[in-house]
Amino acid sequence: MHCTYGCILISSLKLIIKIFRSLTAYDHFLIFLIILSVLKIADVFLDDGAGAGIHFLILGALLFVISSILFFGFKYLTKQKKKYQHALISTFLILLMLSHADPDPVRGILVIFLLYISKFFITYKKQTIFNPIAFAIGTTTLIAMVIPFIEIAPLDFSGIDIRFTILGQLVPIALVPISLSLLFNVGRIRKHRLALAFIIPSLLFGFFFPEYTDNFTSFALAIVFMGTAIIVEPKTSPHKANEQLIYGISIAVIVFGLHVFKVPNALVLGLMACNVLYFIFKQKRA
């Protein structure tokens, strides 16, 4: 009997490993984002009550509906072969990165619209210039800085700041899937050097800002998530080892400089700047 149970367990583990290996890096990443979203939903229901949880679900559902309509609309109009899976990944990222406390319909639609402008139109010789998430949130931020009725996109990473009470202590449970993603997802696309080159100096720079040291756990979650899920985007980040190190450190330094001058949403604006610099470098090297 024990042997039978043991054989079943071993066979099940082998099947899970086989399925895991058959999945693409994008499959792994989408699963990772779904896990984070489920944890966030549970966190909202447990901490803020059923009303807040239902509000979050409705907000998320509307975001996916609008995103899907725009994706298939642009795909039909441009006749480009874009994968819906990538649209889902981008929508999950926006849901997890932006604040849900004060949703603004105009700003929300603008972010999603700019996401697909970047995906479908901001290219040069079929090369993607900007990380779509950085372009969408960053450009919305720049527009809000000059147009009064549009507010700054609330980039607070509240969707990943998930904490459950365990043994009387608030534990940042999101750190578990984020760390696993750093180990496995980032490893699949061979971007560990890039992720760590951004994460380590960024965490060190964080000690210079009281607003981060006062809540360093939230800051660290945002930085590790940014390094694990955003800057390693394959189409807009380098593949060579030395270029990854330079690129990651450069983003951290530019973001630090923007923070010094109190520029809002410095994380995405710094990434946008490095997207442009790396694109120029690729063109000169070609």
Counting residues of the chain whose pLDDT is more than 90, the rounded percentage is: 51
pLDDT at 5 over 60: no
Window from 42-46, 119-123, 210-214 with minimum mean pLDDT: 210-214
Q: What local confidence, expressed as pLDDT, does residue 85 receive?
A: 94
21 or 212: which carries more pLDDT confidence? Answer: 212
Q: What local confidence, expressed as pLDDT, does residue 55 receive?
A: 85
Q: What local confidence, expressed as pLDDT, does residue 271 receive?
A: 97
93-104: burial string, b at 16+ Cβ within 10 Å, e else: bbbbbbebeeee
Residue appearing with tokens 């940014």: 226
Q: What local confidence, expressed as pLDDT, does residue 245 receive?
A: 96
Q: What local confidence, expressed as pLDDT, does residue 12 receive?
A: 63
* Number of C-beta neighbours around residue 244 at 10 A: 23
Name the pLDDT band for 183 (thresholds 50, 70, 90). confident
Express each pLDDT in 32-64 by its tens digit.
999 999 988 888 888 888 888 898 899 889 999
Q: What local confidence, expressed as pLDDT, does residue 6 receive?
A: 60
Distance CA 276, CA 119 (A): 15
Distance CA 199, CA 205 (A): 10
Q: What local confidence, expressed as pLDDT, does residue 148 receive?
A: 80
pLDDT at 162 over 90: no
Mean pLDDT of the 208-231 span: 87
Question: Ranked by mean pLDDT, which of 107-121, 171-185, 207-221 comes out on top?
Answer: 107-121
149 or 68: which carries more pLDDT confidence? Answer: 68
Q: What local confidence, expressed as pLDDT, does residue 261 receive?
A: 92
- pTM of the predicted model as reported, rounded to 2 decimal places: 0.89
Q: What local confidence, expressed as pLDDT, does residue 27 receive?
A: 87
